[in-house]
Amino acid sequence: MTNNLHSQEARLQTVLQRITDACTHYGRDAGSVTLLAVSKTRTSDELRAIAAAGVRRFGENYLQEALEKIDALRDLEPEWHFIGPIQSNKTRPIAENFDWVHSVDRLKIAKRLSEQRPDNLPPLNICLQINVSGEQSKSGATLEELLALSRQVATLPRLRLRGLMAIPAHTEDFETQRQAFRLMREALSQLNADGLALDTLSMGMSSDLEAAIAEGATIVRIGTALFGPRHQKNKTPVH
Ligand SMILES: *Cc1c(COP(=O)(O)O)cnc(C)c1O
């Protein structure tokens, strides 16, 4: 256990150093990039350990699993980000339990989240997910749909449209990684030129965070590099 804690602490320091180094290299303020710990398949104990090391923001993909952890970790008051695909019959618990949703890709979902966001909570922070590589299998709005969708989502009263999110096609090639993120940066600045005040680019994962930071990422979503290889969903994690 002590060993595990040490290696988790070491992984966290490595990730923070990668972020700092990329910011330095690309002339960005180190405070302009936020680390989101992607905690799908991780146990509440693992989240507690990394929270003790200073991590305050968690990203979850699967609603049921997330709700259990949200309940178990209430005393820590972390910020919870929903980053997985959203079925329209699951919007209410998302609207009620999360601070951010990164994976909104159609108006119907946005409307439901706005209607179902409780009045006693601040507006729900929203990123629109873009299928930036145009992969058939991936969710996300197209760049062509983006302007109209953004204008509509921006009018919904219980949401606060913050920016864009993408999961580009996997590649090891740095320049190819950067190209996809560049499209995201350009899309965000077009929306801002259109009068929307957006401040968030949620992009960059364990294998491409440097390319994302080079192109203006403000939230990097990191799983494997922080927690190690993912647990199988159908196996009981070892304690
Ligand atoms: C799993 C996941 C991540 C983290 O990926 P790693 O490669 O493990 O860092 C980031 N974003 C989304 C949407 C994910 O599903």
The pLDDT assigned to 7 comes to 87
Indicate whether residue 168 lines ligand 1 (CB < 6 A): no
Across 43-55, b (16+ Cβ under 10 Å) vs e yields bbebbebbbeeeb
CA of 221 to the centre of ligand 1 (A): 6
The pLDDT assigned to 234 comes to 53
CA of 182 to the centre of ligand 1 (A): 19
Indicate whether residue 223 lines ligand 1 (CB < 6 A): yes
Indicate whether residue 222 lines ligand 1 (CB < 6 A): yes
The pLDDT assigned to 238 comes to 47
Largest CA distance in the chain: 52
145, 165, 224 from 137: Cα distances, Å: 17, 16, 22
Residue nearest to atom 11 of ligand 1 (CA): 221
The pLDDT assigned to 109 comes to 98
Ligand 1 pocket: which of 205, 210, 224, 226 to mutate (most atoms <8 Å of CB)? 205
Q: For residue 183, what are its two tokens?
A: 């499209």
Ligand 1 pocket: which of 137, 221, 231 to mutate (most atoms <8 Å of CB)? 221
Q: Which one-letter amino acid corresponds to residue 93? A: P
Q: Which atom of ligand 1 is nearest to the CA of 225?
A: 9
Mean pLDDT, each 10-residue run in order, the chain (239 residues): 72 98 97 98 96 97 98 98 97 98 98 98 98 88 96 98 97 97 98 97 98 98 94 55
Q: What is the pTM of this model?
A: 0.94
The pLDDT assigned to 239 comes to 44
pLDDT digits 0-9 by tens, 134-181 = 888 788 999 999 999 999 999 999 999 999 999 999 999 999 999 999
CA of 223 to the centre of ligand 1 (A): 5
CA of 175 to the centre of ligand 1 (A): 20
